[in-house]
């Protein structure tokens, strides 16, 4: 196969559709899969496939879609299709870009988010090998509604839309996925030849096949896995695509050395980064921007977002890491602990029922059960600085801003409002008093009351 990276390529993503069946105020192509809008998944595949230039055709809520496109790639050209007159009409909205005469033009769809870059590279490779129009198809036992790919002697001779197909043609199970690549030099000549004489009075991009054939050009279809071509029209399909995406991510991670005993219960974000030899127990959920280093163990039911989990760290079960949580090598954050915008330094332990927010926990420090950093005064957030090897007794409240020195102790149940210097001990609670024989006196009084028939 020819190396497609030697050839210039204009990728055009069609993203003008209304998406009525989503029943949403959000444009369809902005609905997220693994937290990333569908159109951005498509852009990512296009860029990985080595596209030189990118054009996105927008229509419905053009400005919003344009913003999401520009956020990912500010070089992307955005074209507006004012009226929806068919897929060929949509492609021609990008006429100014097509006129630049790239080697290849690749057509993708903003609502078809699972196409692999490798597949696009192979499709473009066909152009490198002398094909003029290459169409990506898939096979299904239930082809109703799809355009059928009609082949003769290994050549694609036509794509017949379901509505326009004969009984015989409707039996064909090789379907048009919509994605296609064609010669950039011939693009305008072919596109301008398309008319709207069909059941829908639309300009069908698919008619390019017969037009190219009539000109004696080389037209071929390539088969892809149906998964890669699934388009999203409603939220049921969106959930199916999400599930397929999650499966791919799980498999990729497991093959890269991540252990999961129940992968079906673990959910990733599109940008989750996990090194090898990490173990993930069931029901762990990843929000945006999580990085997990080698050897870490994420125990069951933990929830992570915006967190950096260092080498050999153990979290959970039931840990919650919020944005800015930074857990250094060998530290531990145990059950029912929440960490937000805080650094837990090397080997420090936060084992049970604790909230650490806006804080530093020094290396080797031990935070007792039920410790709370009181970081918020109703107006502002304040910082708690806990020194290395400090020991915070259980059920302490550290009222920020406050500093606990290196090697310092805080007595259990303290409310700490002032600095505890290095190696000192801070106690901030009422002193205990002991009343001798009080227990037996209470029991004697209760027994007397009971005998007198008064239950009180």
Build a one-symbol-per-residue string for 437-456: x at contacts with ligand UD1 by CB under 6 A, - elsewhere: --------------------
CB of residue 218 to ligand UD1, shortest distance in Å: 20
Q: Is 211 strand, coil or helix? A: helix
Residue 102: CB minimum distance to ligand UD1, A: 20
Q: Binding residues for ligand UD1, how many (CB under 6 A)?
A: 25
Q: Which residues, 6 or more positions from 443, have their beta carbon under 8 angstroms from its beta carbon?
A: none
Residue 291 in the binding site for ligand UD1 (CB under 6 A): no
Q: Please, are residues 362 and 386 in contact by the beta-carbon 8 Å criterion?
A: yes
- Binding-site string for ligand UD1 from residue 57 to residue 76, where x marks contact by CB under 6 A and - marks none: x-------------------
Q: How far is 353 from 338, CA to CA, in rounded Å?
A: 8
CA distance readout (Å), 232 to 17, 72, 113, 147, 273: 11, 21, 8, 17, 26
Member of 11, 40, 61, 87 binding ligand UD1 (CB under 6 A): 87
Task: State yes or no: residue 183 binds ligand UD1 (CB under 6 A).
Answer: no
DSSP output for 283-311? S-EE-SS-EE-TT-EE-TT-EESS-EE-T
For the chain, first and last CA: distance in Å?
A: 93
DSSP string, 245-277: HHHHHHHHHHHTT-EESSGGG-B--TT-EE-TT
Task: List the one residue from 36, 105, 106, 111 that touches ligand UD1 (CB under 6 A).
Answer: 111
Nearer to ligand UD1, 58 or 325 (CB): 58
- 182 lies in the site for ligand UD1, by CB under 6 A: no
Query: Which pair of tokens denotes residue 24?
Result: 């949403």
CB of 455 within 8 A of CB of 449? Answer: yes
Q: Cβ 336 to ligand UD1, closest distance in Å?
A: 46
3-state SS, residue 226: helix
Does residue 84 bind ligand UD1 (CB under 6 A)? yes
**At 327, phi and psi to the nearest 5?**
-105, 115
Q: Stretches 63-71, 170-178, 243-251, 354-362: which one binds ligand UD1 (CB under 6 A)?
A: 170-178
Residue 113 interacting with ligand UD1 (CB under 6 A): no
- Residue 163, C-beta contacts closer than 8 angstroms, at least 6 positions apart: 198, 199, 200
In the region spanning residues 146 to 165, those forming contacts with ligand UD1, defined by CB under 6 A, are 146-147, 159, 161
The DSSP 8-state label assigned to residue 25 in this structure reads S
176 contributes a contact to ligand UD1 by CB under 6 A: yes
Pairing of strands 415-416, 402-404: unpaired
Stretch binding ligand UD1 (CB under 6 A), from 13-21, 268-276, 313-321, 388-396: 13-21
Instruction: Please report, for residues 145, 170, 343, the alpha-carbon distance to residue 360 in angstroms, rounded to integers and kept in the order given.
Output: 59, 67, 5
Contacts to ligand UD1 from residues 224-283, by CB under 6 A: 231
Could you say which of 40, 61, 206, 384 contacts ligand UD1 (CB under 6 A)? 206
Indicate whether 22 belongs to the interface with ligand UD1 (CB under 6 A): no
Position 175 contacts ligand UD1 (CB under 6 A): yes
- The reply on whether position 115 binds ligand UD1 by CB under 6 A is no
User: Quick check: 50 binds ligand UD1 (CB under 6 A)?
Assistant: no
Residue 91, interface with ligand UD1 (CB under 6 A)? no
Cβ within 8 Å of residue 164, ≥6 positions away: 198, 199
Residue (204 or 267) nearer to ligand UD1, CB: 204
Q: CB nearer to ligand UD1: give 57 or 106.
A: 57
State yes or no: residue 27 binds ligand UD1 (CB under 6 A).
no
Find the largest Cα–Cα distance for the chain: 113
**Residue from 35, 37, 50, 178 in contact with ligand UD1 (CB under 6 A):** 178
Q: Which residues pair with 303 in a beta bridge?
A: 285, 320
Strand-pair partners of 266: none
Residue 109 binds to ligand UD1 (criterion: CB under 6 A) = yes
- Whole-number Å distance between alpha carbons of 146 and 223: 15
Q: Is 41 a catalytic residue?
A: no
Q: Which residues are known to be catalytic?
A: 352
Residues near ligand UD1 (CB under 6 A): 14, 16-17, 57, 81, 84-87, 89-90, 109, 111, 146-147, 159, 161, 175-178, 204-206, 231
């Amino acid at each position: 196969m020819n190396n497609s990276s030697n050839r210039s390529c204009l990728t055009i993503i069609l993203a003008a559709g209304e998406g009525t069946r989503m029943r949403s105020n959000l444009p369809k192509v902005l609905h997220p899969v693994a937290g990333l809008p569908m159109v951005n998944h498509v852009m990512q595949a296009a860029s990985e496939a080595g596209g030189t230039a990118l054009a996105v055709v927008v229509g419905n809520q053009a400005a919003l879609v344009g913003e999401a496109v520009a956020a990912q790639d500010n070089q992307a050209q955005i074209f507006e299709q004012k009226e929806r007159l068919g897929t060929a009409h949509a492609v021609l909205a990008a006429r100014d870009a097509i006129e630049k005469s790239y080697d290849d033009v690749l057509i993708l769809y903003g609502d078809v988010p699972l196409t692999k870059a490798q597949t696009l590279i192979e499709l473009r490779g066909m152009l490198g090998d002398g094909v003029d129009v290459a169409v990506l198809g898939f096979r299904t036992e239930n082809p109703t509604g799809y355009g059928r790919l009609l082949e003769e002697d290994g050549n694609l001779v036509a794509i017949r839309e379901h509505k326009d197909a004969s009984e015989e043609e409707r039996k064909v199970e090789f379907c048009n996925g919509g994605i296609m690549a064609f010669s950039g030099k011939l693009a305008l000549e072919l596109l301008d030849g398309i008319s709207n004489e069909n059941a829908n009075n639309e300009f069908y991009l698919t008619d390019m096949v017969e037009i190219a054939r009539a000109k004696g050009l080389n037209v071929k279809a390539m088969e892809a896995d149906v998964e890669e071509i699934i388009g999203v029209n409603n939220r049921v399909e969106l959930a199916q695509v999400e599930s397929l995406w999650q499966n791919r991510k799980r498999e990729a991670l497991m093959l890269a050395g991540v252990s999961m005993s129940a992968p079906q219960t673990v959910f990733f974000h599109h940008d989750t980064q996990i090194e090898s030899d990490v173990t993930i127990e069931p029901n762990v959920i990843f929000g945006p921007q999580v990085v997990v280093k080698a050897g870490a163990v994420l125990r069951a039911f933990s929830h992570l977002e915006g967190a950096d989990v260092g080498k050999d760290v153990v979290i959970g079960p039931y840990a919650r890491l919020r944005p800015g949580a930074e857990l250094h090598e060998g530290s531990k954050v145990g059950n029912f602990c929440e960490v937000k915008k805080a650094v837990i330094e090397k080997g420090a332990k936060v084992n049970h029922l604790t909230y650490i927010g806006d804080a530093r926990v020094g290396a080797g420090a031990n935070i007792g059960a039920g410790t709370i950093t009181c970081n918020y005064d109703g107006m502002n957030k304040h910082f708690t600085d806990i020194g290395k090897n400090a020991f915070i007794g259980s059920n302490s409240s550290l009222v920020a801003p406050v500093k606990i020195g290196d090697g310092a102790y805080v007595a259990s149940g303290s409310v700490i409002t002032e600095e505890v210097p290095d190696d000192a001990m801070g106690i901030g609670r009422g002193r205990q008093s002991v009343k001798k024989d009080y227990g037996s006196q209470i029991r004697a009084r209760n027994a007397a009351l009971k005998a007198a028939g008064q239950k009180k």
